[in-house]
Structure 1
Amino acid sequence: MATNQNKTVPNSNSVDDFIAALPDERRRGEARELVELMQARTGCVPTMWGESIVGFGSYHYKSGSGREGDFFPIGFSPRKAAISLYVYGYNESRSELLARLGPHRTGRSCIYVTRLNAIDRDALADLIDDGLSQVRSDWP
Structure 2
Amino acid sequence: MSELQTIPTNAFVEDFLQTIEHPVRKADSLNLAKLFEEESGEKPMMWGPSIVGFGMFRYYYPSGKEMQWFPVGFSPRKQALSIYIMLENIHLQPFLEKLGKHKKAKGCLYINKLADIDETILREMIRTSINLIQTKNQ
For the criterion TM > 0.5, the same-fold answer is yes
Give 3-state SS (helix, strand or coil) of 1:10's partner.
coil
Query: Relative to structure 1, is the Cα distance of residues 35 and 41 closer, same or farther in structure 2, using a 3 angstrom cutoff?
Result: same
CA distance in 2, matches of 1:68, 1:47: 20
Which amino acid counterpart does residue 66 of structure 2 have in structure 1?
Answer: E
Q: Which of 114, 122, 127 in structure 2 is aligned with 1:129? A: 127
User: Counterpart in 2 of 1:75?
Assistant: 73
Give 3-state SS (helix, strand or coil) of 2:62's partner.
coil
Give 3-state SS (helix, strand or coil) of 1:84's partner.
strand
Shift of 1:90: 4.2
Give 3-state SS (helix, strand or coil) of 2:45's partner.
strand
CA distance in 2, matches of 1:61, 1:92: 19
CA distance in 2, matches of 1:33, 1:56: 14
Please give the residue correspondences for 1:110-129 in structure 2 after superposition, counting only pairs within 5 Å: 110-129=108-127
Which amino acid counterpart does residue 21 of structure 2 have in structure 1?
Answer: P
Is this contact kept in 2: 1:61–1:139, CA < 8 A?
no
Query: Unmatched 5+ residue regions in structure 1?
Result: none
Please give the residue correspondences for 1:1-140 in structure 2 after superposition, counting only pairs within 5 Å: 5-140=3-138
% identity of equivalent residues: 33
Which amino acid counterpart does residue 67 of structure 2 have in structure 1?
Answer: G
* Alignment length (residue pairs): 138
Query: Unmatched 5+ residue regions in structure 2?
Result: none
Which whole-Å deviations, capped at 9, do the CAs of 1:39-78 have from their partners, x for residues lacking one? Answer: 0001111000011100000001222312111000000001
CA RMSD across the alignment: 1.4
Which amino acid counterpart does residue 70 of structure 1 have in structure 2?
Answer: Q
Q: TM-score, normalised by structure 1?
A: 0.92
Query: Relative to structure 1, is the Cα distance of residues 56 and 103 closer, same or farther in structure 2, using a 3 angstrom cutoff?
Result: same
Q: TM-score, normalised by structure 2?
A: 0.94
